[in-house]
Amino acid sequence: MLERDMQMCIHAWLKRTPETKVIYEFRMVGYCDMVGVLFARRVGRQIPQVIKTTAVELKLTDIAGVLVQATANRHCVHESFAAMPMSRVNRMRSQTLLLFRDAGIGLLAVDVQSSLVFVAVSPGIALPSMDPESFRRRWWARIVSDKRLGRNQ
């Protein structure tokens, strides 16, 4: 299994609110694997306000690495998750799961075979320390560009 094998499952999970737009490989503090952005309804030509943002880092085995990346993402988004294969999450010790909880990072268990995503640890919901509005134009531009190219929507 590769990280990219989990992408479609996470894409569908982020789109559980159909209006959410999904962006792949976006630079915030570092590169984030996937970002779900929910915008308010667009009125006229103005870029709509951001309602909610969710970052997801995909990793197969590197718990320490995914915690570092997902923690950095927390500064830019409302929710930050790590996504790992369900088989890996099922083998985690309770102390490891507490690391995610204590960091405010959600943990998603992904079963690629059934395309199911389970929330193993709920994230802390907080206002980002970096204003998501500072990314609003870049997110919108990326979504418009991806739409023109027929990608990811």
Evaluate whether residue 106 is within a structural domain: yes
Residue closest to 67 by CA, chosen among 77, 59, 78, 75: 59
Q: Is 57 inside a domain boundary?
A: yes
Let me know if residue 30 belongs to a domain. Answer: yes
CATH of the domain at 80: 3.40.1350
Place of tokens 């990219």: 4
Q: Is residue 153 part of a domain?
A: no
What total number of domains does the chain contain?
1
Task: Name all contacts of 27-31 with Cβ < 8 Å and 24+ positions apart.
Answer: 28/55, 28/72, 28/73, 28/75, 28/76, 28/77, 28/130, 28/135, 29/72, 29/73, 29/75, 29/76, 29/130, 30/69, 30/72
The pLDDT score that the predictor gives to residue 98 is 96
Burial class (CB in 10 A: 0-12, 13-18, 19+), 113: exposed
**What is the residue range of 10's domain?**
3-148
pLDDT in 10s for each residue of the chain, 153 residues: 788 889 999 999 999 988 999 988 888 777 899 999 999 988 888 888 888 999 999 999 999 999 999 999 988 888 999 999 999 999 999 999 999 999 999 999 999 999 999 999 999 877 777 766 678 888 888 888 877 666 655
Q: Please give the pLDDT value at position 69.
A: 94
Report whether 71 contacts 38 (CB < 8 A).
no
Report pLDDT digits (tens) over 106-121: 999 999 999 999 999 9
- What's the pTM? 0.89
Contact 76, 101 (CB under 8 A): no
